Amino acid sequence: MKNLDLNKVTDAVEKMCMEANFYLGSDVLDNLKKIAKTEDSPVGKNILNQIVTNHEIAQENQVPMCQDTGIVVVFLEIGTEVYMDGDIYDAVNEGIRRGYEKGFLRKSVVKDPLDRVNTKDNTPGIIHTKLVAGSDKVKIIIAPKGGGSENMSAIRMLKPADGIEGIKEFVVETIKKAGGNPCPPIIVGVGIGGSFEKAALLAKESLMRDVNDSSTNPINAKLEDELLELVNKTGVGPMGLGGRNTALSVKVETYPCHIASLPVAINLNCHAARHKEVIL
């Protein structure tokens, strides 16, 4: 049994909140550079080059890559062999609070969705927790999620008879409807199965994957490739102004579901695909 000092959790989250907003992952940045060379639309090519320059300036000057520094989504994987004297959720939120203050990051969270009063420190985060049997480690992933792409996400309870073709139609419909709002080129997370809320969580979790990877499930991997091709054929293009590069990647995650259900959730992420992780 390992005794984890929760101050280490706070310190790690504080650091990751700033780094996630300042430094875009090399997997995403390299792909942006790559598609900028292949984009047919002169406007789209210009936009992609500007996006790359923006991210390079953010890294060099340690400033936010986007003015929307997001609400912080946190994934915790806690080993059952870890002891903590205190509340890890409080420790995480304290890290968010410090990171957003120290990094001069925009505070985007309101205390109540109806009266809309800002909490002024970007807390609380959205925290999802898993227990890992036999582990004495704690894995923390933080993902600041901007409103533009999040607001274009969608969920639908399809009929089992709709099948894979129904899923494809829903994804393409969602991308076309979103247009330039989620700041393409985007990363598309698709959660299939489980229940209403599980499908949405699957879609969110899928966005934590490396932009270059493929699902280990061959059915999902095939669907990822087919959906990426269909999405890029929509012509939405960079920032919605037309072109061949609407999405960098499509990620599909699945889960067992009820015989009468086919839940499908689509969570969109803009090109500022921010997430960092640490293991304590």
Find out whether 273 and 131 touch, Cβ atoms under 8 Å. no
- So what's the pLDDT on residue 111? 97
pLDDT at 32: 97
Altogether, the residues listed in the chain come to a count of 280
**Is the entire prediction scored with pTM above 0.85?**
yes
* Confidence at 113, pLDDT banded by 50, 70, 90: very high
User: Could you count the other beta carbons within 10 Å of the beta carbon of residue 241?
Assistant: 15
Tens of pLDDT, residue by residue over 164-196, are: 999 999 999 999 999 999 999 999 999 999 999
Name the band, by pLDDT with cuts 50, 70 and 90, for residue 73: very high
- Whether the CB-CB separation of 76 and 128 falls below 8 Å is answered with yes
Give CA–CA dist 180/182, Å, rounded. Answer: 6
Helix locations, the chain, DSSP H: 6-22, 26-38, 42-61, 88-102, 147-150, 163-178, 196-206, 218-232
61 sits in which H/E element: helix 42-61
Average pLDDT of the residues in 108-124: 98
Report the pLDDT value the prediction gives residue 254, as an integer from 0 to 100.
Answer: 98
pLDDT of residue 165: 98
Confidence band, pLDDT 50/70/90 cuts, at residue 121: very high
Q: Which residues pair with 139 in a beta bridge?
A: 77, 279
**pLDDT digit string, tens, across residues 130-169:** 999 999 999 999 999 999 999 999 999 999 999 999 999 9
Q: What local confidence, expressed as pLDDT, does residue 185 receive?
A: 98
Give, as one character, the DSSP assignment of residue 118.
B
pLDDT of residue 277: 97
pLDDT, averaged across the chain:
97
DSSP 238: G
- Residues 7-33: what's their mean pLDDT? 97
> What is the predicted pLDDT for the residue at 238?
97
